[in-house]
Amino acid sequence: MRIVSWIFGLIAAAALATAADARPAPHTTIMISIDGFRASYLARGVTPNLSALAKDGVRSALRPSFPSVTFPNHFTLITGLYPDHHGIVDNHFEDHRLGRTWDLGDRKGMTDPVWWKGGVAIWATAMAQGVTPAVEFWPSWGAGPSGRMPALFDTFDPNTSMDAEVAKMLSWLDLPPGRRPRLVLGYFFPVDEAGHRFGPDSAEVTQTVGRADAAVGQLVRGLRARGLYDRTNLIIVADHGMTQTSDSRAIRLDDHVDVRDVRLVTSGPLTGLEPLPGKDAEVAAALLGRRGHMRCWRKGAMPARFHYGSNPRIPPIVCLADLGWTIGTKAGLARGMVEKGNHGYDPDAPDMAAIFVAHGPDFRRGVVWPKFSNVDVYPMLAAILGLRPEPSDGRLSEVAGMLR
């Protein structure tokens, strides 16, 4: 009897092993952010690869979080928190408690994990729950309880082409099963760079959009060659859009307030300033409310839809320019601070809308979804990866209908 039981045990074990082998492997998810890719760029006729993914998957547009600039929104995409809540409140800001300034130009300083403690990145959650992530150039660092980055991680290098980035991501998918990532985050920057330099209406931007699309096509071909295409979710997003700007649409702070009474923290479409001691009343009287092509608020009185104004890193007074206008001092504007294209404006402005295309086994096919907030990307990622998400401002219910 013991021999018979042993034989039946072997048969049962073999059956279980066969059943396990027959189960499909978990889906891989690749999310690439194309910085500054305005949602309407898809209509320019130079994106055959992205357009094919959109037609066969889900196409929508993302409403960026306020302010509609790069680092706050990239951190929002992977935490589901508004910038007011995760603490990366602008591309440049001050933290008086730390006695330090954060700036996107300070590559060494901004990678200090102390800045990123306000949110837990999706890759940190993945690592904690046994899902291997890989990060190629994503503009966030050290987010999570440990402050560690994934083992598969490349620091941003502006000299690396989009094609080379795709090759690196594909090489990660060639790793043995124990090391192969199931979540890959990638980042392309040239579309944003061209938008600032030449303006979104330029031929140069259209050409760069075409190059980004070609890199996506390279990724699709690489997945097909590896037999991974049908088992991979591809999500293409952006942090914000882009609008045309010019020197002729400049707002001079000097025309509204004595600039000797304020300390300028940031300038541009979104401008933050701090009245000097004893000057609060004068500055408030001069700036608060509608002033030509800008509107200024005390930080705690900003419109609720911006979800912005409570974080201590936000300056006491915040001014927002109308779409296409730039705020600065006469001295700053004289130095040529106005680019041909910019962002940072009201997130509801159509030009600020960012691309969203999703395709793969966890997404429905042929769906055009209404524009939605980028905080909702995080719970969607957690759902398709099978992760228990951290608390966030995002709501899965807002995007569940695009999932299978």
The catalytic site residues sit at 70
Could you give the count of Cα atoms lying within 13 Å of 137 in the half-sphere of its Cβ? 23
Which pair of tokens denotes residue 270?
């979104």
Whether 45 and 199 have beta carbons less than 8 Å apart is answered as no
Q: Which residue has the tokens 């690396």?
A: 160
Cα separation of 126 and 368, whole Å?
29
Tokens 């440990």 sit on residue: 146
d(C-alpha 343, C-alpha 47), whole Å: 22
Q: In 3D, which of 356, 349, 354 has the Cα closest to residue 305?
A: 349
First and final CA of the chain: distance in angstroms? 49
Matching residue, tokens 């959109």 = 54
H or E element in which residue 198 lies: helix 190-198
Q: How many C-beta atoms lie closer than 10 Å to residue 247's C-beta?
A: 12
